Amino acid sequence: MELILDLSKVIFRIITILPLMLVVTLFMGKRSVGELPVFDFLVILTLGSVVGADIAEPTIHHLPTVGAIVAIALLQKFIAWLKIKNHKVGRLLSFEPTLVIYEGQFHIKNMRKISYSIDNILQMLREKNVFQLQDVHFALIEANGELSVKLKPEKEPLKMKDVQVTFPKPSLEYTVIMDGRIQPKALEYLELDEAWLQKELLKKNIVNIQDVFYAALNEDNILHVTLKTPGYTQSVPIFH
């Protein structure tokens, strides 16, 4: 009998909580899940914990849970309003865009700061139909984790007014060194060897492969290199 009573409580709570959660979600505003700011993400986690505890434990009083859900929604709405009114609060409660590539070079310090690897950035570039690092003027990791890319002017997609110009030959880029380690399979595919690679590095006054953070070859065997410790820090101003 007690089991049936608890089960009926759980069913009742699900029936009442789901419409309330729908209303609260609509009240909080339209937002893509992939674009949730940090605070809103924490709000969602908190709501899930409160609702989960209420449904899973029939002995917990139901009305305080309803009150907690409403209070959390009101707090989120207030913070959203405050972020619009006060830019400093908005900066405090969200991530700033982070520069990860500038003039075809990885910004290593920033990549380590946000824990993004070479593979992460290269994959995101490919998703933007960018297959050569040297084509990138600058690239940013936005607050939502997405990559924004600005290509160099000569690499920008052609517009209708440019249709009479000669289209460049499409080209891929092959990673041959990653974080100081040679990628032998890539060299084998390109029918090259480590001795050839060493010569190309020497042409760029690079003696030690361990100094190379990233190196890639295009289909014309032109080597593009990012050093672990560049002589200067390249950057662009970012106003958030």
Give me Rg for the CA atoms of the chain: 26
Lowest mean pLDDT among 2-16, 45-59, 71-85, 110-124: 2-16
Q: Which fold has domain 173-227?
A: CRO Repressor (3.30.240)
Pick 3 or 124 by higher pLDDT.
124
Which residue in the block uniquely carries the two structure tokens 């590539």? Answer: 101
User: How confident is the model over 90-116, as a mean pLDDT?
Assistant: 87
Confidence of residue 3 (pLDDT cuts 50, 70, 90): confident
Homologous superfamily of 98-155 in CATH?
A: bsu07140 like domains (3.30.240.20)
Residue 130 Cα distances to 73, 111, 119, 151, 215, angstroms: 41, 19, 14, 9, 16
For 27-83, write each residue's pLDDT tens digit: 776 665 555 677 777 888 888 888 888 877 777 787 888 888 889 888 888 888 887
- Round the average pLDDT of the chain to a whole number and report it: 82
Rounded CA-CA distance 112/10 in Å is: 47
Q: Does the pLDDT value for residue 204 go beyond 60? A: yes
pLDDT at res. 235: 60
- Joined together, the tokens standing for residue 221 give 């065997």
Distant-in-sequence, close-in-space partners of 58: CB < 8 Å, separation ≥ 6: 5, 6, 9, 10, 13
Distant-in-sequence, close-in-space partners of 132: CB < 8 Å, separation ≥ 6: 171, 172, 173, 216, 218, 224
Q: What is the DSSP letter of 176?
A: E
User: How confident is the model over 179-195, as a mean pLDDT?
Assistant: 91
